[in-house]
Structure 1
Amino acid sequence: MNTLVLSPAERAQAAASLARFVDSYEESLSARPILPDVDRDTLAKLLAEPFPAEGVGVEGFFADLRDRIVPNSTTVAHPRFLAYVQGPPNGIAPYADAITAVLNQNCNFWQLSPAASVVERSVVDWLAGLFGLGPDAGGILTNGGSGATKDAITTALADRRPDFRERGLQSGAPPLVLYTSEEAHRCVDKAAATLGLGLDHVRHIPTDDAFRLRVDLLADAIAADRAAGLEPFCVVATAGTVTSGSIDPIGPIADLCAREDLWLHVDGAYGALFVLADSARETFAPLSRADSIALDPHKMLFTPLEAGALVVKDAGKLRAAFAFSSSYLTVAEDELMLDFMDYGPQLSRSFKALKVWAALRTFGVDTFRAAAERCLRLAARLGERVAAEPGLTLLNPVALTAVCVRLDGRRDEEYPALLAQLADEGTALLGPARLHGQTAIRACVANYRTTEADIDLIGDRLAALAEA
């Protein structure tokens, strides 16, 4: 008889195979290629072959994993994977994710996931507390920072226009305008497009020499739009721009938003969790004045994908934007629990909070503080090396962990080949960057496995390429 339950022997086989896989992968990380030598024939066959009527079983699945999946996967946990703001998963993550799959809690209304509701509340309260958002703060875990920013802008729209849920942007009121910097993440534009604001109503404010939004030009743009009969409603500042890691002047922006009655959202998906580092804590203190903050535990808390978060100063406004009543989803309210379906767009939601909670419980907050501090220190080390090296130009102040390097005398069209060479030879996977019209190589230290030796190897290789 066909069954979807593994026998005791199959469970033992699967558990042993998983343990061997986790151990062997961990032990071999530094020796693995960062980018795979993709076997296109294997992947083409994988795409074309039909799923079997008779299953391949546990042994067949792990054979597929060993022979076809892992060899064609990027080694994101490699210590010199520095192309993106994506760190390796922490050590408890595979086990937390497995437990999440076993429990399969639907984190929509609390009756389906009582413990999960409390765990998510605990994680959200801790995240909001890092920024001093106050006693009315709350939030929700999301699929990432882009989703968190979209949900924040949705909340800002509902707060600005009380009839937004009923009439959308069709109320006949003046068109709403959103402001952000020219260095902001593309998720701001995507949110404006998908929410119906329209890209014509997004203002990309120029930045200063350190790639931070210019508050004087922001004030001018707001005044010009008001004079034109438009309605400014929201500013999206950035705490860690994706290219340079720059931090917009949040305090002065908050002052302007207070004067102009504008919602202040901070995209902190890259940088805000560096608040954990003692050396950066004061830098992020002004975020306490934000109405909402997007965060990414799957970056600097090294949680496996997906785990973003949105925290807001007034949780009631988040609920007002997203809560809908349904008789078939109604259960008695409980002061200990939250129905997270009322705080975001999803109904079916996975137990994302468990892997965040598990890591904080297993390793302790101080371990993450040390990891954040270490990443900042390693990036500063690389930045100092680049700045001192003849033939290399540092294009950005190293505010966080992004280091953008230009090789003197190299044409823009040479950079893709340089990046490919660095990856193919095993030096590092670095990324492209473009700042103020200049093309560069970008290293982003968001990896707790990276060492001083890794940084020095990269610096030596860049110097050799510059000399050549």
Structure 2
Amino acid sequence: MLDDMFDHLEHVRHGPVWQQAPQAIRATMRCPLPLDPTDLGDVHDHFREAVLPFHGGNIHPGFMGWVQGGGSAVGMLAEMLAGGLNANLGGRDHMPIEVERQVVAWMREGFGYPQSADGLFLTGASQANFIATLLARLRRCGPAVREQGLAGAPGLVAYASCDVHGCVPRAFDMAGLGTDALRRIAANALGQIDVEALRCQIARDRAAGFTPFMVVGTAGTVNTGAIDDLAALGALARDEALHFHVDGALAAPGIFSDRLAPLLAGIEGSDSIAFDFHKWGSVPYDAGFLLVRDGGWQRAAFASQAAYLTRASSGLAAGDWWPCDMGPDLSRGFRALKTWFTLKTYGLKALGRAMEANCDLARRLEQGIAAHPDLALLAPVALNIVCFGYAPGGQSGDGEINRRIVEKLHAQGLVAPSLTMIHGKPAIRAAFVNHRSTIADVDRLIEGVLAFGADDTPTG
């Protein structure tokens, strides 16, 4: 199994980014409940035939459609070790807990947070943004909100860019606040939240009797990679006594790049940050993370008494840091190990350089678009995401041709961008997150778009 995966990683470039699984292959997954044993070798053969050739493609260097990291062989091996240990990181006194605490300490230092800060591994930034919403709610409403709910604190409202990730309004839904409690503020020409429009909306809400409690800044919008003015948002949040959270799922790890860190100025003044090691950190899925300025907020929001969680001064039931007191999960996998291995093995400087290389590829694509009369840039390139379209003779039309081009590129299997909507029209979106991607992959994307676009365009 291990040899197969090493071979797969070594030769991944030579296969298609993606290929559709035939119905006959899909049918092999529809079988009766396995009551009796099957030889492990036979099960592995089934995996090799039915799963491995038809994966999602995000480890392939030509994958550039969605913000999905490429992982690494080091992380894969660490996952094997974690699986062998089968550690539950809900709490108690054992060294896997110390591994997670070490990564928390590294992130506290890396983001310039105080010693009071704490953090937690989660499935991803979606869950981290949800937990941050609960922390902000508790800070405004007090601990009683855990027993009494929101009945005693009506009218809570929060703020984010109109380009905020969809998991943030979903977090408000799950927190019992309702999606209408999240005010979506207009973005400027660079895709950043309009800070003055935000200030005016807060004033209007206060005058109308609402209770503002949180502002969400975005470090890397999902559509275009724009980074909000985090310093300005932090100053406004302090003036208005709001919890300042940053959704940094895409770009927050850029803090470890000397070149990208200035784009994140002000993130150190936030109250919480959600991000993913499994994106730009090159850690295998899943490895989301929440960093919180004051770990006491986490304990106030989640710690609870239970007889089966009785603590002791010594023995396995000891330990002064139980993650189940910091978040919603009691059963927790050892996500920290693959992250610890990745950070220690490669070093943050090398990971930062890989992020810079992704941004260089985005600039290369931007230049290629500008150089060709049949391509049009559809949004500013802020970081590592490029939104563009096929526009013969400079005419972009309704953009539906872009939808067809993307589908054809996927079927071809050389590169896999995604489709998004820019100003209500379909656009081709290339997101560079994979450390394996090269200039050759950018060139293949341009060539493919031009070729399929020309084939799709009626001639005089």
Asked if Structure 1 and Structure 2 have the same fold, meaning a TM-score greater than 0.5 normalized by the shorter chain, the answer is yes
Residue matched to 2:65: 83
Q: 1:297, 1:448 → 2: CA distance?
A: 13
1:368 equivalenced with 2:351 (yes/no): yes
In structure 1, what residue type is equivalent to 2:55?
Answer: S
403-412 vs 319-328, which deviates more?
403-412
1:149 equivalenced with 2:136 (yes/no): no
* Correspondence for 1:340 among 299, 315, 323: 323
* Correspondence for 2:148 among 167, 192, 195: 167
Local SS of the residue matching 1:269: coil
TM-score normalised to structure 1 length: 0.92
Q: 1:398, 1:120 → 2: CA distance?
A: 35
Residue 306 (structure 1) shift: 0.9
Residue 198 (structure 1) shift: 0.8
The answer to whether the 8 A contact 1:396-1:403 is kept is: yes
Q: 1:200, 1:426 → 2: CA distance?
A: 41
In structure 1, what residue type is equivalent to 2:150?
Answer: L
Local SS of the residue matching 1:433: strand
Q: 1:395, 1:102 → 2: CA distance?
A: 48
* Correspondence for 2:116 among 129, 132, 136: 136
Q: 1:418, 1:118 → 2: CA distance?
A: 49
Q: 1:242, 1:29 → 2: CA distance?
A: 26
Residue matched to 1:65: 47
The answer to whether the 8 A contact 1:133-1:313 is kept is: yes
1:23 equivalenced with 2:6 (yes/no): yes
* Correspondence for 1:455 among 427, 442, 448: 442
1:444 equivalenced with 2:431 (yes/no): yes
* Correspondence for 1:381 among 331, 341, 364: 364
Q: 1:363, 1:271 → 2: CA distance?
A: 19
1:238 equivalenced with 2:218 (yes/no): yes
Unaligned runs of 5+ in 1: 1-17
CA deviations 1:337-366 (Å, max 9, x no partner) are 510000000110001100000111222222
In structure 2, what residue type is equivalent to 1:166?
Answer: E
Structural RMSD (CA): 1.7
Residue 84 (structure 1) shift: 0.7
Residue 333 (structure 1) shift: 5.8
With over 3 angstroms needed to count, the CA separation of the structure-2 counterparts of 1:376 and 1:219, relative to structure 1, is same
The answer to whether the 8 A contact 2:398-2:425 is kept is: no
Q: 1:236, 1:299 → 2: CA distance?
A: 20
CA deviations 1:248-271 (Å, max 9, x no partner) are 111111111111110010000011
The answer to whether the 8 A contact 1:118-1:337 is kept is: no
Residue 462 (structure 1) shift: 3.0
Where do residues 191-210 of structure 1 align in structure 2 (5 Å cutoff)? 191-210=171-190
In structure 2, what residue type is equivalent to 1:110?
Answer: R
The answer to whether the 8 A contact 2:403-2:426 is kept is: no
Identity of aligned residues (%): 35
CA deviations 1:280-336 (Å, max 9, x no partner) are 111113101100000100101111111100001111111111111222212236897
CA deviations 1:196-217 (Å, max 9, x no partner) are 1012211100101111100111
Unaligned runs of 5+ in 2: none
Q: How many residues align?
A: 447
The answer to whether the 8 A contact 2:16-2:414 is kept is: no
1:54 equivalenced with 2:36 (yes/no): yes
1:287 equivalenced with 2:270 (yes/no): no
Q: 2:313, 2:258 → 1: CA distance?
A: 40
CA deviations 1:103-122 (Å, max 9, x no partner) are 111101123xx111111011
In structure 2, what residue type is equivalent to 1:457?
Answer: R
In structure 1, what residue type is equivalent to 2:145?
Answer: F
Q: 1:333, 1:413 → 2: CA distance?
A: 66
Residue matched to 2:16: 33
1:103 equivalenced with 2:90 (yes/no): no
Residue 385 (structure 1) shift: 1.7
Local SS of the residue matching 1:278: coil
Local SS of the residue matching 1:92: helix
TM-score normalised to structure 2 length: 0.94
Residue 464 (structure 1) shift: 4.3
Residue matched to 1:7: none
In structure 2, what residue type is equivalent to 1:66?
Answer: R
Local SS of the residue matching 2:419: strand
359-368 vs 224-233, which deviates more?
359-368
* Correspondence for 2:196 among 213, 216, 219: 216
Residue matched to 2:207: 227
The answer to whether the 8 A contact 1:29-1:75 is kept is: no
Local SS of the residue matching 1:213: coil
